[in-house]
Amino acid sequence: DAKTTQPNSMESNEEEPVHLPCNHSTISGTDYIHWYRQLPSQGPEYVIHGLTSNVNNRMASLAIAEDRKSSTLILHRATLRDAAVYYCILDDSGTYKYIFGTGTRLKVLA
Amino acid sequence: GAVVSQHPSRVICKSGTSVKIECRSLDFQATTMFWYRQFPKQSLMLMATSNEGSKATYEQGVEKDKFLINHASLTLSTLTVTSAHPEDSSFYICSARGTNYGYTFGSGTRLTVV
């Protein structure tokens, strides 16, 4: 199963940008990179996904390295509501399983 | 957007009894659903893959006789924790793959076995 590596925790000040890194050196050519976040006592929530090109949506941006072995989730202006655990997941097109890594616990300081 | 409804959100049961958790895809058909378990301060652990009309596929180390999965329709999968014990207390989460990329997750069920 493809694996991802993320820092255990990060802190950000409110209204400032946050860059959440993810390493996925064993990614295969057809694996999509997905990001989800989980608030306490809730199921994960979709944030963004991409394959090769950088992606933007209303929640965040996703920057994917040229060799696809790493990616970065960018929250342009962190709010207190963005405090959550962020998971970077490889969408294995072979098994369609989501294998969760440890995720990054983001703390946003007021 | 795709919505997955999970019920109940919380359940407390006595040791030795069984508990059923339902996972429904409300506005799409899901041929495949997944069940996860999450202990406090830990990540989600995949327990099994539920396929409509066929037997579930369990991950290594997950007891299939203890965690019964039934996926009888394209919109409903159930997880039954049989003969529950305190060590089964956990947060159980289901997810379903819709027609678009990615998965939608249920809101989770917190099971407490006393």
pLDDT digits (tens, 9 = 90+) for A61-92: 999 999 999 999 999 999 999 999 999 999 87
Give the pLDDT score at A75: 97
Q: Which residue of A has its CA nearest to B3?
A: A45
Q: How confident is the model at residue B23 (pLDDT cuts 50, 70, 90)?
A: very high
Judged by average pLDDT, the poorest of A74-78, B20-24, B29-33, B57-61 is B29-33
Give the pLDDT score at A95: 74
* pLDDT of B88 over the 90 cut: yes
- Where residue A63 falls (left for φ over 0; alpha for ψ -120 to 50; beta otherwise) is beta
* pLDDT of B37 over the 80 cut: yes
**B34–A43 C-beta distance less than 8 A:** no
Please name which of A41, A31, A46 lies closest in space to residue A86, comparing C-alpha atoms.
Answer: A46
**A44–B44 C-beta distance less than 8 A:** yes
Please name which of B80, B111, B92, B79 lies closest in space to residue B10, comparing C-alpha atoms.
Answer: B111
Suggest the residue from A46, A51, A59 to mutate for an interface test with chain B (most B CBs closer than 10 A): A46
Query: Rounded CA gap, B104 and A13, in Å?
Result: 30
Query: Rounded CA gap, A78 and A56, in Å?
Result: 16
B107 vs A43, A49, A102: nearest CB: A43
